Structure 1
Amino acid sequence: MLRVSMVLLQRQLVLCVWVCVSSALVVHSLPWSVSCPAGCVCQIKPWFSPQSFSCEVPTVDCNNLFLTQLPTPLPLDTHTLCLQSNLLSALETPLLQTLPNLTELDLSQNRFSSVRTLTSTQPQTPSLRSLLSLHMEENQLRAFSGLGSLLRLHLNNNHLTSIDPLWFTTLPCLQVLMLGGNPVEVLPERGFQALVSLRSLVLGGMGLKGLPERALEGLDSLESLSFYDNLLTTVPTQALRRLPGLKFLDLNKNRLKLGLNNMEELVAIERAAMENLPELTKLEITNNPRLSYIHPQAFFQLGRLESLMLNSNALTALHQHTVLSLPRLREVNPLTFFTFCYVTALF
């Protein structure tokens, strides 16, 4: 009887812990008692900083209201202002200047043709000094002017056809820049050199066919770079060599023979790392002094791969599944390394 009681007590304790943990994981918005603009929702909601710190902040949500101008009155303590999916083409800068704590502004899916409509041209009126994150995806941008303290800038799916280096001269603090979906076929040399603090750059779906050797010069702090879904036929090795801190590179969904060579920071190739390259026939992974691990399913879905080069790495083993997942493989270099590891794996 005592044993049964103890089991029941343990189950109750486990249930209590599970309920408490589950409740802690559910994030709820909190009421914010202010005068809220008509049609908008004012709440205290979770927010993640550019450094991934989480906190609860005053948020005004005015999405999907067919607005043609800023709603009023905007609470003075507004931290995050959401204006997604409206009809805005310009903003009343003086009104935004009355929001000293405005940190994140979402203007996605509106009708902006220029970011200059957000900034003040009067020297005595500083431009949104507290703003850290600006979302302007799916607008009609063709011109751009900077915002001094910005850390994140999202410009995906606009109408930018070229990149002007002068756009970024007033963004020395920017850490994340997303330009995907803009029809820019050629990047200028030193186009991003003013972005000395940039850590992540997304250039997906732009129609890029190649990169000038100095296109990425000056991005010494860059850690993550995406060329997803472009028209590259070769890996832009010369341009990538100018990125000393690069840790993540996305070249998926391009038309190329892939070479991951001479990358001092590359330490591992994880599972399905190249799953979006089904047409790849040749893969070179050479001269990477710290590369010591390749996941058994790293080359999963590379059904047409015929040549695999693994010279001059720190690899000591290659799992048999790595090879068995490549039905058309005809060439492996070094062959002695491959034979030894494959036989060892069989036993």
Structure 2
Amino acid sequence: MLRVSMVLLKKQLILWVWVSSALVVYSLPWRVSCPTGCVCQMKPWFSPQSVSCEASTVDCNNLFLTQLPSPLPPDTHTLRLQSNLLSALETPLLHTLPNLTELDLSQNRFSSFSGLGFLLRLHLNNNHLTSIEPLEVLPDRGFQDLGSLRSLVLGGMGLKGLTERALEGLDSLESLSFYDNLLTTVPTQALRRLPGLKFLDLNKNPLSVLGLNNMEELVVIERAAMENLPELTKLEITNNPRLSYIHPRAFLRLGRLESLMLNSNALSALHQHTVLSLPSLREVSLYSNPLRCDCLFRWFNVSKDNGL
């Protein structure tokens, strides 16, 4: 699974693609009384500060559970409940797990959720939350009680939009995924409510226009950064004062892209392969960049002379 991502590393915002299938995951036995059918292991986990550690993990995926498994080891750090039949959470039981920081509730039957303000990471893929109905649009302050949350995954929920205050209250959020939804535009107004956001996943959405504008920390557009956005016809990356490099293959597989706006950045050149990889491209705008007229950029002048 490929994800279009924005990552802040050492105060530098970098657009990149995370190929999760390439990650190597190891695990060790965790010798505790494990709930029937579950697997208890020590697995790698990265803290919000990107520090690797071993996390006591209880994996109860794909067990057709209708209620939380019991007994849960009191030292549980990560609880995975993906692909079950859960429709409600027994939050008092979760509160007996003082070290619980990550909860995966993907592909269940939840109609509402509460009492999870202590979590750092929450996965809600493929649920049907009536607390945020209509599902097509996230309403105001639907996550206001999750002030400690660092990571939120809302994939495969049929979302078409967000209200301006939909993400209000998520003051600690650093990572947000809208993978595999129906967003046609970037929810810019809602994202402005997330002052600490470092990672944004908009992959597998039918975006026709994408704007990455006025981002003071954006410095690099990495290889294949837009690879899973086949509907994109216009891409605006403008007014980013520190953006100085775009990978030659940053825009692979954007077969419908017609307009590429790169105004008012810090680009000294644009590689020829960047343009050649866009078969439908009709317009490129590069004004207000400190472009160098050297051999690396000579192709652009030749292309202009030939009517690009």
TM-score bucket (shorter structure): 0.7 to 0.9
Deviation at 1:136, TM superposition (A): 2.5
> 1:287, 1:311 within 8 Å by CA — same for their partners in 2?
yes
Aligned to 1:172: none
Deviation at 1:292, TM superposition (A): 1.3
Q: 2:172 aligns with which of 198, 204, 221?
A: 221
Q: 1:308 aligns with which of 237, 260, 263?
A: 260
> 1:184, 1:207 within 8 Å by CA — same for their partners in 2?
yes
Matched, 1:101 2:75: yes
Q: 1:205 aligns with which of 132, 156, 159?
A: 156
Deviation at 1:312, TM superposition (A): 1.3
TM-score (norm 1): 0.66
Q: Which aligned pairs between 1:335-346 and structure 2 lie closer than 5 A? A: 344-346=296-298
> 2:264, 2:288 within 8 Å by CA — same for their partners in 1?
no
CA RMSD of aligned residues (A): 3.4
Aligned to 2:213: 261
Q: Quick one: which amino acid aligns to residue 135 of structure 1?
A: D
Q: Quick one: which amino acid aligns to residue 47 of structure 1?
A: K
Q: Deviations over 1:56-99 (max 9, x none)?
A: x7xxxxxxxxxxxxxxxxxxxxx543333224322477x44xx4
Aligned to 1:81: 58
Aligned to 1:132: 101
Q: Which has the higher contact order (CA 8 A, sep 6+)?
A: 2
Q: Aligned partners of 1:220 and 1:247: how far apart in 2?
A: 12
Aligned to 1:47: 43
The structure-2 alpha-carbon separation of the partners of 1:264 and 1:192, relative to structure 1 and needing over 3 Å to count, comes to farther
Q: 2:84 aligns with which of 110, 130, 140?
A: 110
Q: Which aligned pairs between 1:1-347 and structure 2 lie closer than 5 A? A: 29=28, 32=31, 45-51=41-47, 52-55=51-54, 79-91=56-68, 95-96=71-72, 99-116=73-90, 118-120=91-93, 127-147=96-116, 149-163=118-132, 184-255=135-206, 256-334=208-286, 344-346=296-298
Q: Aligned partners of 2:296 and 2:38: how far apart in 1?
A: 65
What is the count of residue pairs matched by the alignment? 272
Structure 2 portions without partners, runs of 5+: 1-23, 300-308
The structure-2 alpha-carbon separation of the partners of 1:338 and 1:297, relative to structure 1 and needing over 3 Å to count, comes to farther
Q: Aligned partners of 1:128 and 1:26: how far apart in 2?
A: 24
Q: Aligned partners of 1:312 and 1:136: how far apart in 2?
A: 43
The structure-2 alpha-carbon separation of the partners of 1:155 and 1:247, relative to structure 1 and needing over 3 Å to count, comes to closer
> 1:308, 1:332 within 8 Å by CA — same for their partners in 2?
yes
Q: Aligned partners of 1:244 and 1:327: how far apart in 2?
A: 37
Structure 1 portions without partners, runs of 5+: 1-24, 58-78, 165-182
SS at the partner of 1:230? coil
> 2:140, 2:166 within 8 Å by CA — same for their partners in 1?
yes
Deviation at 1:342, TM superposition (A): 8.8
Q: Quick one: which amino acid aligns to residue 48 of structure 1?
A: P
Q: Quick one: which amino acid aligns to residue 229 of structure 1?
A: D
TM-score (norm 2): 0.74
| Structure number having the greater helix percentage | 1
| Structure number having the greater strand percentage | 2
SS at the partner of 1:322? helix
> 1:119, 1:147 within 8 Å by CA — same for their partners in 2?
no
Bigger CA radius of gyration: 1
Q: Deviations over 1:315-337 (max 9, x none)?
A: 12111111111222221213586
Deviation at 1:299, TM superposition (A): 0.8
Give the stretch that moved more between structures: 286-295 or 212-221. Answer: 212-221
Give the stretch that moved more between structures: 210-219 or 331-340. Answer: 331-340
SS at the partner of 2:251? coil
SS at the partner of 1:90? coil
Deviation at 1:49, TM superposition (A): 3.6
